[in-house]
Amino acid sequence: MLVKAHAKINLALDVLGTRPDGYHELETIMQTLELHDELEITTAPDITLAVQGADLPAGPENLAYRAAALLRERAEYAGGAEIRLVKRIPLAAGLAGGSADAAAVLRGLNKLWHLGLGPAELAALGAEIGSDVPFCLYGGTALVRGRGEAVTPLRDLPPLGVVLVKPPFGVSTAEVYRRYDALVNPPQPGCRRMLAAAKRGDAADLAACLVNSLEPVTMSLHPVIGAIKRELSAAGALGVLMSGSGPTVFGLFKSRASAERAAGMIRQEDCWVTATCFHGAGRE
Ligand SMILES: C[C@@](CO)(OP(=O)(O)O)[C@H](O)COP(=O)(O)OP(=O)(O)OC[C@H]1O[C@@H](n2ccc(N)nc2=O)[C@H](O)[C@@H]1O
Ligand SMILES: Nc1ncnc2c1ncn2[C@@H]1O[C@H](COP(=O)(O)OP(=O)(O)O)[C@@H](O)[C@H]1O
């Protein structure tokens, strides 16, 4: 069985405070992209994982493996699965690559093992693996709250083009959140404004409402993020923003074709650059 694990970006991200469990209360609007990892999953006596395209462990430290092991344990399933993962989403990028893989494994094994678990049950399991996993199980466009476990699907947005630019370093999500807590003047929330724009579904409106409370934190650590934003704007982006805890920066374009043209204009040293587009929940 072939399963696609789609990357995500955050179109808006507000941090509302810290929770008793040490995580942060969020309000964010997330959107899956056509860019995806691929997983070939077949039944086997035990759980095995082979990774192609990235230097990643293939044991329990890998979120894809961890998802299979957790599902097998909770479903008390006797068999296993052979998982072959082809990575295309860059690591520690703010694109939820690991979370997307974990969600793809939960979705795929739920079918392959005929477990019959519903979306809410899978999302509860996913939340134990990582905060972005519940959204990755739903995909499309959604309002996400809590630690990331409360997902409210929204109507699909127009299929906008997206250029992704990732500088040559990863970012620790935990460190970005820790540094956020130390901000004297945290950014103003903007998720509600984006929610209204998402309901209207107008591209220029969406682009004008992009907001990410974590962006100033990561940008203070890596000023190149500001340079990438300026270059994407100069290439004609409708709007630009860092995704999640970063460091990937995205630019929105009216179509995939215009994103492809703009991607060819990006001259940032040593950056990973690709053009993709919004991916709706209903599509594989
Ligand atoms: C920032 C966001 C925005 O969508 O995405 P990415 O930038 O990672 O893609 C998410 O909140 C990241 O989700 P995810 O990367 O799954 O985080 P987890 O593995 O669950 O947690 C990593 C660390 O981030 C912090 N964390 C995460 C989520 C949250 N709501 N509050 C937090 O404080 C915690 O310190 C936690 O130990
Ligand atoms: N299948 C996986 N794909 C990517 N990263 C993984 C995976 N399994 C574990 N990881 C670890 O999780 C960390 C964060 O992964 P990722 O989800 O790509 O980051 P982000 O949430 O910032 O997009 C990586 O640095 C990597 O060490």
C-alpha angle 184/244/93, rounded to 5°?
A: 125
From residue 220, alpha-carbon distances to 13, 95, 187, 225 in Å are 17, 20, 14, 9
CB of 37 closer than 6 angstroms to any ligand 2 atom: no
| pLDDT tens-digit series, residues 187-209 | 999 999 999 999 999 999 999 99
Q: What pairing do the DSSP bridges indicate for beta strands 249-253 and 47-52?
A: unpaired
Rounded to the nearest 5 percent, the helix, strand and coil shares of the chain are 35, 30, 35
What's at 272, amino acid-wise?
A: W
pLDDT at 284: 59
Q: What is the pLDDT of residue 281?
A: 80
Q: Is the CB of 10 under 6 A from ligand 1?
A: yes
Nearest Cα to Cα of residue 86 among 157, 5, 191: 5
Based on C-alpha coordinates, what's the Rg of the chain? 18
Instruction: Name the token pair of 221.
Output: 């650590």
Which residue's CA is the nearest one to ligand 1's atom 34?
Answer: 174
Residue-wise pLDDT for 155-178, tens only, equals 999 999 999 999 999 999 999 999
Parallel, antiparallel, or unpaired for β 150-154 and 141-146? antiparallel
Decide: residue 95, CB within 10 A, 0-12 exposed, 13-18 middle, 19+ buried: buried
Return the pLDDT at 268: 87
The predicted structure's pLDDT at residue 283:
66
Choose which residue among 131, 164, 179, 212 to substitute to test ligand 1 binding: the one with the highest number of ligand atoms within 8 A of its C-beta: 131
pTM of the entire predicted model: 0.97
Average pLDDT along the chain: 96
Q: Which of 14, 37, 101, 132 is catalytic?
A: 132
Low-confidence residues of the chain: pLDDT under 70 = 282-284
Known binding positions: 90-100
Please give the Cα distance from 233 to 239 (Å, whole number).
7
Q: Which residue ranges does the chain devote to CATH 3.30.70.890?
A: 161-277
Q: Among 3.40.50.2300, 3.40.47.10, 3.30.230.10, 1.10.150.130, what is the CATH number of 2-154?
A: 3.30.230.10
CA dist 29 and 22 (Å) reads: 22
Q: Where in the chain is the domain with CATH 3.30.230.10?
A: 2-154
CB 182 within 8 A of CB 221: no
CB 124 within 8 A of CB 132: no
What is the spatial distance between Cα 146 and Cα 151, in angstroms, rounded to a whole number?
9
Q: Does residue 141 have its Cβ closer than 6 Å to ligand 1?
A: no
CATH 2.60.40.10 for the 161-277 domain, yes or no = no
CA 106 to chain CA centroid, Å, is 16
